[in-house]
Structure 1
Amino acid sequence: MDTVVLLVVVVIAFVAAELLGMRAYRRYRARKEAAFTRENVGAVYDDLQQVRARCLAEKRCFGLLADAARAAGRSEDACVVDALAEGERAHLAALEEFREPLHAEKVDAEARPPLSADVNDALREVAERIDTWSTGACCDAAARARVHGYRDIAKLYRRLQEVEQNAACICLDLAEGARPDEQLSRCPSCGLIVAGRRPAFCTTCTKPGFEFEEVLVEQHTEATFSDHRPASHREIDTQGFFVDL
């Protein structure tokens, strides 16, 4: 009998401790969210704005690269580059989660020099720039977020780093003509592109593999810029990008 009573007391104490712990954690999260303001986060806010501007620029750059690949008759490569642009859109969507509570201001895309006329050279330039950012500025931003206690933001930066390094490798492969023979698929959450059989879970964001989207590849065509978007509807902006009118 004494054993049963002791067991009941232990269970009650355990449940009480769990409830108190959950209540304390909720209070902690509430204080953390209340403190998540532009004035309090300091450098973390600046990093978020810079990353947003950078992702906007890369998305636009990938769109330009896809157009250039199609104009060169490399429609298969263009489809892969389009998938890389979708990855940048996924980054921007993830950043929105932190932008809204901060009431962050609108940002413009980072300035980019005009790409090389040769598609392969342009792919190499983009790969080098992406790799430099992912191993440099992105790591620094993740460290600052972690130091300030924003592990969720640091985790997002680490995810961006992995996806961007993957994108840099793909760009280099396309530049060298090393296209994968296997079917490509893209994670809709983080933008990671994988070749072959879809994984059980995304290795970057743990999204279920069955949700991966197939990268549809066009057949080879002798396309030009005007075949996809009339020149009368495009102009070059001051940063050397094509923009829609």
Structure 2
Amino acid sequence: METIVLLVAVVAGLVALELLGMHAYRRYRARRQAAFTRENVGAVYDDLQAARARCLAEKRAIVLLADAARSAGRPEDGAVLDALAAGERAHLVALEAFRGPLHAESVEPEPRSPQPSSLDDALRAAAGRLDGWSTGPCREAAARARVRGYRDIAKLYRQLQEVEQAAAHLCLDLAEGARPSGLLSSCPACGLIVTGRRPAFCTVCTKPGFEFEDVEAPAAPGDASAALKPEGAA
């Protein structure tokens, strides 16, 4: 009997401790959210604004590259670039999760110089921009967010770094005519493009691999009509 009473007391104590811990955590979260204002985050807010302006500009530039690739008779490259543009849109959504609570002001796309007339040169220029931003401003923004205690924002910047590095290498491959062979698929959450078999989970954001989307050029109208033509038809 005494053993049962002791066990009940222990369980009740553990439940009480858990409830107290949950209550304390909720109070901590509430204080943290109340302190998440433009004035308190300081330079972190400026970094979020700059990152959005950059992603807006990069998305537009990549969309133009995708159109240019299709016009040049390179629909497969156009499909890859469409996936890269979708990745930039995913970055904008992720940034908005932090900008929204801050009631951030709208920003215009970052100004850009005209792209080179040659598609391959434009792809090399895009690779340089992607690499330069991921290893420079993005890395610095992650460090500032981490120092200020905003680990979730720092984590987002680290994810952007990885995705943009992979995108830079892919742009260089397209420029050199070395588009990866085999199936390409992209993570709908962070925009990472992988070659070959889909991973069990995204190596950047841990999104399940079965949610990845194939990256492939749409069938040309002529191909579709040929596929529907009965056998033996002229």
Give the TM-score normalised by the residue count of structure 1. Answer: 0.86
Counterpart residue identity of residue 151, structure 1: R
Tell me if 1:118 matches 2:121.
Answer: no
Distance 1:13 1:140 in 2: 46
Match of 1:210 in 2: 210
Cα distance, 1:127 vs structure 2:
0.6
Match of 1:31 in 2: 31
Cα deviation 1:79-120 (Å, max 9, x = unaligned): 101110000000001111111111111100011111111111
Cα distance, 1:196 vs structure 2:
1.2
Distance 1:71 1:57 in 2: 21
State the aligned residue count: 221
Indicate the SS of the match to 1:194: strand
Counterpart residue identity of residue 212, structure 2: F
Distance 1:169 1:12 in 2: 57
- Judge conservation of contact 1:74–1:220 (CA < 8 Å) in 2: no
Counterpart residue identity of residue 57, structure 2: A
Indicate the SS of the match to 2:185: strand
Residue pairs, 1:37-186, within 5 angstroms: 37-186=37-186
Cα distance, 1:27 vs structure 2:
0.4
Match of 1:21 in 2: 21
- Judge conservation of contact 1:73–1:220 (CA < 8 Å) in 2: no
Cα distance, 1:6 vs structure 2:
2.9
Cα distance, 1:10 vs structure 2:
2.3
**What RMSD, in angstroms, separates the aligned Cα atoms of the two structures?**
1.5
Counterpart residue identity of residue 111, structure 1: P
Distance 1:64 1:126 in 2: 11
Distance 1:3 1:197 in 2: 56
Residue pairs, 1:218-233, within 5 angstroms: 218=218
Counterpart residue identity of residue 50, structure 2: Q
Cα distance, 1:220 vs structure 2:
8.0
Give the TM-score normalised by the residue count of structure 2. Answer: 0.90
Distance 1:12 1:169 in 2: 57
Q: Which runs of 5+ in 1 are unaligned?
A: 222-245
How many percent of aligned residue pairs carry the same amino acid?
72
Q: Which runs of 5+ in 2 are unaligned?
A: 222-234
Cα deviation 1:53-78 (Å, max 9, x = unaligned): 00000000101111221222111111
- Judge conservation of contact 1:126–1:171 (CA < 8 Å) in 2: yes
Cα distance, 1:125 vs structure 2:
1.1
Of 87-96 and 8-17, the range deviating more from structure 2: 8-17
Cα distance, 1:219 vs structure 2:
5.7
Larger radius of gyration: 2
Counterpart residue identity of residue 91, structure 1: H
- Judge conservation of contact 1:76–1:219 (CA < 8 Å) in 2: no
